[in-house]
Structure 1
Amino acid sequence: AMIRAAAEDRLAEGAILDVGCGVGAYLSALRVHSPHVFGVEIEGEYAREAATRGHVVQALGERLPFAENCFDLVLSHEVIEHVSDDRACVAEMVRVLKPGGRLVLFCPNRWYPFETHGHYWRGVYHFGNTPLINYLPDPLRNRLVPHARAYTVAGLRRLLQGLPVHVVAHTRIYPGYDNLVRRWPALGRVVRWLSYRLERTPLRLLGLSHFLVVEKTAR
């Protein structure tokens, strides 16, 4: 629903690109709205599975194999924190957008109380949600979590600096607690309801992810 609202009329028959599409879950959903859905995925096994759901190319987000100004909508869901060069990846997504096209970006919020990508300690990886790591100074935080970034508002501004875009919408969102809803439906629905209410309060600053929508301007 958030993606549909952000896209406005760009979904209907528009050219859509999902950068870091994984196994193609979004491709299937987006093909309901348009036959012109493309995905980019660097992991070969994921790309092959995603190719059953749409037009998929195995490529880096920092070097998208598409011409300038060819997509009405570009989606990237929790991807830029993993790429080698996040600034180059965002610049590429903007490059392939048509003027007036929109980039819908989800990425981790630095102020969420848990680091969801696990962490390293003395060379050993520890899986799971680790509390408060993202509140540490950058050098220490990045030593513990070298494999994933988390973003402040200032960090997002730096990613967009100098690019031909303007911000349409930005907020922070809480998780949907899908696993909790599946295991304990009644409890899960209550927790989800509470989290959605928090998104309407100042406590959204502690949300799991940034939800950012930018529109490409004519240059």
Structure 2
Amino acid sequence: MVDPDSIEYMTRNEADMAFKRRVKTIFDFVNPHGDMRILDLPCGRGFYLNMFQYVSNCELVGADLDWRVVKTARQVLGHLAKVHIHHASIYSMPYPRDCFDAVILSEIIEHIDDDIRGLKEAYRVLKPGGVLVVTVPNANYPFWWDPINKTLERLLNRHIQRGPLAGIWANHVRLYTAGELRASVEEAGFEVEEERAMTRHCFPFSHNLVYGFGKPLLESGILSKSMQSVANRHDFHTNGARLNPIKLGVALFNAFDRKNGASEPPEIATVNLALKGRKPNA
């Protein structure tokens, strides 16, 4: 099991409390050890891969359909012998059958039209007995995480899927209930071992502040170098000064997050759902 202090160290400057809890859950479910071979899809810019290589000696494979983030991930992690990054679709992974000990599908199946097809492809590349980890946005999300969409859903039965006000619905085909996620994973052939509902308490408009405002500001290059370093998920070794504006914002978000547990009761509104599945042994 990965030392919880190491996970806390890697996420100490993280502004997205939901992402921070996904990190902890993914490490709990995967339990990287020995020479495991782990696939992360979509790998994005390689944030999970970077964390896994820091705390383990596993062989790590990342794949993403977006060439831009693949290029970034290769620039940051391409020099590492045990990290391999590919351009690939969840519908057609360029890997043989039964070749991974764990597959991570974090925040991906809500983006695709055919989630069962994507899950079945993960089933194909997993070894018998291998672990599947899935995280998705919860259809029963907290009002304060995304007040705009929650209000639109209640009053007009609609939501915003594009732009800075998209919130939890940003570029998503669907959100999931716990039952819907479980049913999809089981239909793909997996056995469900554990389920979690994460991030109940949050600072108001957290998603809009972090991704609608903060992320574009970071990517614009306007922020000072010290602020960019603290906000850079790849650079978890830089802590920053106590009065760094990013640190102050993170401290505020953490004050709300301290009331959250590792998992909440299923009827409680939370930002994310997580599921650990297993491919049955032959």
Query: Which residue among 98, 105, 112 is the counterpart of 2:127?
Result: 98
2:151 is aligned with 1:86: no
Deviations 1:51-103 (A, max 9, x none): 23231111111111111110001112111111232111111112111111101
The corresponding residue for 2:189 is: 164
Within a 5 Å distance, the mapping from 1:1-219 to structure 2 comes to 1-8=24-31, 10-32=32-54, 33-52=56-75, 53=77, 54-113=83-142, 130-133=149-152, 140-141=157-158, 147-148=171-172, 149-174=174-199, 182-196=247-261, 199-200=263-264, 202=265, 205-219=268-282
Could you tell me how far apart the structure 2 residues matched to 1:136 and 1:212 are? 31
Cα gap change, 1:113 to 1:101, in 2 (>3 Å) = same
Post-superposition shift, 1:34?
2.8
Could you tell me how far apart the structure 1 residues matched to 2:104 and 2:151 are? 29
Is there any run of 5+ residues in structure 1 with no aligned partner, and where? 119-127
The corresponding residue for 2:18 is: none
* Higher deviation after alignment, 171-180 or 105-114: 171-180
Q: More relative contact order in 1 or in 2 (CA 8 Å, sep 6+)?
A: 2
Q: Match of 1:73, SS?
A: strand
User: By percentage of residues, which structure has more helix?
Assistant: 2
Q: Match of 1:184, SS?
A: helix
Aligned 8 A contact 1:15 1:73 in 2: yes
- The one-letter code sitting in structure 2 at the alignment partner of 1:131 is K
Cα gap change, 1:214 to 1:133, in 2 (>3 Å) = farther
TM-score, normalising length: structure 2: 0.62
Post-superposition shift, 1:49?
1.2
Could you tell me how far apart the structure 2 residues matched to 1:189 and 1:143 are? 27
Cα gap change, 1:192 to 1:115, in 2 (>3 Å) = closer
Q: Match of 1:205, SS?
A: coil
- The one-letter code sitting in structure 2 at the alignment partner of 1:188 is F
Q: Match of 2:171, SS?
A: coil
- The one-letter code sitting in structure 2 at the alignment partner of 1:98 is K
Could you tell me how far apart the structure 1 residues matched to 2:247 and 2:153 are? 28
- The one-letter code sitting in structure 2 at the alignment partner of 1:147 is N
Pairwise CA RMSD? 3.2
Is there any run of 5+ residues in structure 2 with no aligned partner, and where? 1-23, 78-82, 162-168, 211-244
Cα gap change, 1:73 to 1:142, in 2 (>3 Å) = same
Cα gap change, 1:56 to 1:102, in 2 (>3 Å) = same
The structure 1 segments of at least 4 consecutive aligned residues displaced by more than 6 Å after TM superposition are 175-178
Q: Match of 1:81, SS?
A: helix
Number of residue pairs aligned between Structure 1 and Structure 2: 204
